[in-house]
Amino acid sequence: MIAFVFPGQGAQFAGMGKDLAENFSVAREVFEEANDALGFDLTSLCFNGPEEDLKLTTNTQPAILTVSVAALRVLQQETGLQPAYAAGHSLGEFSALVCAGTLTFADAVRIVRQRGAFMQEAVPVGVGSMAAMMGLENDALEGICAEAAQGEVVSPANFNSPGQIVIAGHATAVDRAIELAKAAGAKRALPLPVSAPFHCSLMKSASDRLAEILAEIHFAPMQLPVVSNVEALPNADAARVMQLLVQQVCAPVRWAESVTNMSELGVERFVEIGPGKVLSGLIKRIAKGTIIQNVDDVASLKKL
């Protein structure tokens, strides 16, 4: 049984997708569709950067989605592989929903462009932050966050793999949590270079604004289940997709649990589709013994 998985923010790099677009017309068509849907040259940004512009959340989200869907279309055309499940990390859940046929690519790329803007605007720059914590159990870290809050917000944002958790919240509370984590014996506790504190309650205004946009979107019947970040369980009901995407903005990404659950459901092969190999590295630590492959250029496609 195969699962297709799609990366989120942080996987971007200048040049991503160029190789596929130069070699496959189906990939070029995805980039052209993105340019038309957004009204600007996203293709040039993906292929040429600059990195500073690519790192802006409003650009990063549609760029990664576009490269992921281009790679998906090539993979489908060249191999005919059919997944039993799809899943994505945060932003990647939108790529998974395009894969499942419930969201059109044009709708998805417009939505994530706005989602990025909403998330960026939810908290003034410098007020919030995120930090990666290595070597602490979930319960211990939740206790540290509770102690560090002191009336502010700080909470687990991404449960990425056993012993690797990202926290988010007010910058001062995150700093306190870093110090407490170090004192508790964390292997590493370091701030991340992100522009906003994603997946915590400070994102409430972004989730409200996203809900207004999603209310206008038609979600078609799902062709395969998507394992949601919010529940870490497969969902095959198109009527539930909107609510899960709205909740996802403030809720932690339960990635480790999602992969474990897919493995327990019989998935023996994970194919990461889109830029980089971030998820492949996480899955190696979560579901040991599974086959892990990726597709983001011609060489990786041939290898697969």
Tokens of 251: 């809720």
Nearest Cα residue to 304 out of 101, 84, 2: 2
Contact 112, 217 (CB under 8 A): no
Amino acid at residue number 157: A
End-to-end CA distance of the chain: 15
CB contact set of 109 (below 8 Å; sequence gap of 6+) = 33, 34, 37, 38, 42, 62, 65, 66
Query: For the chain, where are the E strands, in sequence order?
Result: 2-6, 85-88, 128-134, 154-161, 164-170, 188-191, 226-227, 234-235, 269-273, 291-295
> Any catalytic annotation for residue 199?
yes
Q: How many Cβ atoms sit within 10 Å of the Cβ of residue 303?
A: 10
Residue of 129, 170, 199, 207 marked catalytic: 199
Residue of 90, 155, 161, 195 marked catalytic: 90
CA dihedral 230, 102, 31, 207 (to 10 degrees): -40
124 phi and psi angles, rounded to 5 deg: -60, 145
In the sheet where 188-191 sits, what is the strand order?
154-161, 164-170, 128-134, 188-191
> Any catalytic annotation for residue 89?
no
Residues annotated as catalytic are 90, 199
